[in-house]
């Protein structure tokens, strides 16, 4: 049996399973990429199968979502080890400003996760290409394909060919995530501070 046949059968068997099978599907997809290696089209079809398995819906946030968004934004700041922090009341004001201002704030939801969103993003559509200011997947939903599925749905929804994102220089996990989705390094942002 060729590696591609083995991986295809694994994907077909696991595609009908529940959440636990989806984790195995992710493993099977990564194994297929290791075994098939030289076949970019196979890697793409595996990735596409994985994205299609996890159905993420987008919902525009409203002011009723501010508290939930504030909690996720606090986690985002902590996870990326951002070099400054904001008090929770300031994060709430900031999210409220994003929602009522010129940004589009979107919650990522899925049936598998129950009522709570699995993440969110903040997009600045005034930039060309659009600028992804925040992109966050909740900790308990990471490394399961939700980020990839949410980004695919977002790109489809925005109907764009290009999208910009910034990652803190020390955030290796974030950099690896974006590189894995096809984003390429374009520039280095530098900051001078008096301290």
- The confidence score (pLDDT) of residue 10 equals 41
In the predicted structure, residue 115 carries a pLDDT above the cut 60: yes
Residue 52, φ and ψ in degrees, nearest 5: -70, -25
Measured CA to CA, the distance from residue 163 to residue 127 in angstroms comes to: 10
At 25-64, the pLDDT tens digits run 443 343 333 333 333 333 333 344 444 468 899 999 999 9
Measured CA to CA, the distance from residue 176 to residue 26 in angstroms comes to: 17
Alpha-helical regions (H) of the chain: 3-15, 19-36, 40-53, 66-79, 88-100, 146-158, 172-180
- The confidence score (pLDDT) of residue 114 equals 60
Q: 46 with 29: CB under 8 angstroms? A: yes
For the chain, give the mean pLDDT.
77
Measured CA to CA, the distance from residue 30 to residue 34 in angstroms comes to: 6
- The confidence score (pLDDT) of residue 188 equals 83
Percentage of the chain modeled with pLDDT above 90: 51
In the predicted structure, residue 91 carries a pLDDT above the cut 70: yes
In this prediction the pTM is 0.71
At 95-109, the pLDDT tens digits run 999 999 999 999 999
């Amino acid at each position: 049996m060729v590696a591609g046949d083995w991986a295809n059968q694994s994907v077909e068997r696991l595609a009908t399973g529940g959440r636990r099978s989806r984790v195995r599907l992710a493993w099977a997809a990564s194994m297929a990429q290791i075994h098939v290696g030289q076949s970019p089209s196979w890697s793409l079809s595996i990735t596409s199968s994985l994205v299609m398995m996890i159905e993420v819906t987008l919902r525009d946030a409203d002011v009723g979502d501010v508290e939930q968004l504030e909690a996720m934004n606090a986690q985002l700041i902590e996870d990326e080890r951002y070099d400054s922090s904001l008090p929770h009341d300031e994060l709430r004001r900031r999210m409220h400003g994003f929602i009522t201002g010129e940004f589009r704030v979107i919650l990522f939801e899925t049936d598998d996760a129950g009522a709570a969103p699995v993440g969110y993003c903040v997009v600045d559509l005034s930039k060309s290409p659009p600028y992804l200011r925040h992109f966050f997947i909740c900790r308990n939903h990471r490394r399961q394909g939700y980020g990839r599925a949410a980004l695919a749905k977002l790109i489809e929804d925005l109907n764009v060919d290009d999208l910009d994102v910034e990652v803190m220089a020390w955030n290796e996990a974030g950099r690896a995530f974006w590189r894995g989705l096809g984003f390429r390094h374009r520039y280095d942002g530098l900051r001078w501070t008096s301290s």
